[in-house]
Amino acid sequence: MKHDFLPICRKDMEERGWKQVDFVYVTGDAYVDHPSFGHAIISRILEAHGYKVGIIAQPDWKNKNSIAEFGEPRLGFLVSGGNMDSMVNHYSVSKKRRTTDAFTPGGVMGKRPDYATVVYCNLIRQTYKKTPIIIGGIEASLRRMAHYDYWSNKLKRSILLDSGADLISYGMGERSIVEIADALDSGLAVEDITYIEGTVCKVKSLESVYDFVVLESWDELNRDKLNYARSFYKQYCNTDPYSGKRLVEPYSEHLYVVQNPPAKPLSQSEMDRVYSLPYMRNYHPSYEALGGVPAIEEVKYSLISNRGCFGGCSFCALTFHQGRIIQTRSHESLIEEAKRFIWDKDFKGYIHDVGGPTANFRAPACEKQLDKGACVNKQCLFPKPCKNLKVDHKDYLKLLRKLRELPNVKKVFIRSGIRFDYLIADKDDTFFRELCQHHVSGQLKVAPEHVADPVLRMMGKPENRVYRLFSEKYKKINEQLGKKQFLVPYLMSSHPGSTMKEAVALAEYLRDLGYMPEQVQDFYPTPSTISTCMYYTGVDPRTMQDVYVPKNPHEKAMQRALIQYRNPKNYELVLEALKIAGRMDLVGFDKNCLIRPRQKMAKKVEKKPMIKKKKTIRNVHRKK
């Protein structure tokens, strides 16, 4: 059989000679058969294990027949909201509806519902009452236990309950989905599949559940927000595949949600196999007339070299989704993938990215993680790099050099983010120099996120001194290379811990830098992050100490305006923020001031009208 897209309709299925598919994969994204899309990886892995998969992309959730295209699958439905949580996809942090959707043909907004995973599952249940439903993807993964939902401003139950699904495959899912498929194929009832790592199930009794930690019950979570903080931190401490315990969340005497420990990390050969599957590496041709799928543009000529992140930023959900143990692909696998696209007619000679969550992590943080896992109560980089941390860019550097030497390649960029504190901890500057020399195009984007140490501590980021050292070194290396290249810092406003005082300090930093960002990232409380837990509960779950949380929309607008204080539209907000912070010394004509005093300027003009008139007369005489 020729290499092709998976079936998207009954006609495709019949052309393959299939009478029935084993699984129907329902996704909130358009069908893009590229390994940057979760539905492509999971469906191709199942195909490689002999299972027949049909894809239903962005079904009409108002029509129950839209999910019946293939009829009832032999083994079950797989459901994902898409590559992003559907609510993040739909709404900005100010809860305003976005105008475009990069994962939809033509970038059209509105082709998936809010809370897509729940809606799709309920749609399936209207027709297929008993067919197993397995949910996965980022939306299901990060909502797998009771969680705070920013958009409704409520605590929500596990998505397993609200969706009516039978199982959650959380994390990346390659291991668990095959085990689930094999169990169903062997004739095991879906309610009996309660043991697979990387899954969440529901049970009526704990008689057959062993070695577990009981979380606060649903009633206790609703009774006191502090109970939610305690529960969340227990979950956070059990995200490691080697040390993580089974977690039980009680909802009643006869209903428990059970999270099995995370699936083990993939070995390098397993990672290579995942990315060597026969992806078409593009969106389905049926979307061509609609303008294609915008999301493919950034990833079409990019390479995913790693997974996981031991950075541990508080506002990031990677700890819950991919974990802290780094998994990598071999050089051979990455070069082979590059060779598949460097002769593409649309390839302009630029590999857009070689990385992952953090580009310059190419190995586990230390040897211990390989068999004992990441430390439960310690971070690898925060507040300072662990003494056991292995800082080494040699392997990444070798990989980049090999890719640079490929024919038809002009430049290899790194866009997925450099962890600057890890880079500055490397005593060997070879990678730093080659980064500046070969992999930066005028500007390097990095993420200090803030400059005030109290906020950085809440964020789990290094103190500002580290970023200053990095910035100075970056400047020095570029001067030595004779290059004029700049740093573009990603900055965040209104993160828990940021009072107006810290927001003003950030504005002063930008003043001294002579830089005003075009866009500002206001803190966005998304499911399963420490920062979101702080936002909801008002405490740091790691210490249970109170944290100041800017929640009022007007205060958030002021903190955001301070970052863009030069914008005339923000003048009143900036002035009000400076008054609140007691920093009216920053209103004036001095070079250190952020804004000028409009009223005083007007008064000066009113007091001396005659002087202006005399000057005008003298000027007229001069011209004569």
pLDDT score, position 416: 85
What's the whole-model pTM score?
0.93
pLDDT in tens, 585-599: 999 999 999 999 986
pLDDT exceeds 60 at position 620: no
pLDDT for 86-107, tens place per residue? 999 999 999 999 999 999 999 9
Angle at 318 (CA atoms; ends 315, 324), nearest 5 degrees:
115
Contact 213, 235 (CB under 8 A): no
Q: How far is CA 383 from the centre of its chain?
A: 22
Q: What is the spatial distance between Cα 313 and Cα 530, in angstroms, rounded to a whole number?
A: 9
pLDDT tens column, 120-150: 999 999 999 999 999 999 999 999 999 999 9
Report how far Cα 12 is from the mean position of its chain's Cα atoms.
34
Mean pLDDT within 368-391: 93
Average pLDDT of the chain is 94
Q: What is the mean pLDDT of residues 463-473?
A: 96
User: Average pLDDT, stretch 540-564?
Assistant: 97
Task: Give pLDDT, residue 614.
Answer: 38
Determine the pLDDT at residue 417: 86
Q: What is the pLDDT of residue 613?
A: 39
Q: What is the pLDDT of residues 489-522, one digit of tens each?
A: 999 999 999 999 999 999 999 999 888 887 789 9
Q: 10 Å Cβ neighbour count for 126? A: 10
Interaxial angle between packed helices 430-438 and 394-404, expressed in degrees from 0 to 180 and rounded to the nearest 10: 30
CA nearest neighbour of 471 among 423, 511, 520, 438:
423
Q: What are the beta bridge partners of residue 350?
A: 411
- What DSSP character marks residue 108? B
Task: Kindly tell me if the per-residue pLDDT of 604 is higher than 70.
Answer: no
Distance CA 288, CA 20 (A): 28
Residue 571 confidence (pLDDT): 96
pLDDT above 70 covers what percent of the chain?
96
**CA-CA distance, 52 to 609, in Å (whole number)?**
85
Average pLDDT over residues 434-438: 97
What sign has the CA pseudo-torsion 569, 575, 577, 583?
Answer: positive
Average pLDDT of 163-171? 98
Segment 426-440 mean pLDDT: 97
Domain boundaries, the chain: 10-201
Flag whether pLDDT at 20 surpasses 50.
yes
- Distance from C-alpha of 521 to C-alpha of 396, rounded to nearest angstrom: 30
Phi-psi region of 213 (alpha: psi -120 to 50; beta: other; left: phi over 0): beta
Predicted pLDDT at 375:
94
Q: Which two tokens stand for residue 578?
A: 């400076």
CA dist., res. 93 & res. 40, Å (int): 29
Q: How confident is the model at residue 327 (pLDDT cuts 50, 70, 90)?
A: very high
Q: Is residue 610 predicted with pLDDT exceeding 60?
A: no
23-73 pLDDT, tens per residue?
999 999 999 999 999 999 999 999 999 999 999 999 999 999 999 999 999
Res. 619 pLDDT band, cuts 50 70 90: very low
- What pLDDT, in 10s, does the model give residues 216-225? 999 999 999 9
Whether domain 10-201 has CATH 3.40.50.280? yes
- By the 10 Å C-beta count (0-12 exposed, 13-18 middle, 19+ buried), 371 is classed as exposed
- Tell which wins on pLDDT, 620 or 442: 442
Residues 440-468: b if buried by 16+ CB within 10 A, e if exposed: beeebebbbbbbbbbbbbbbbbbbbebbe
pLDDT, residue 520, reads 82
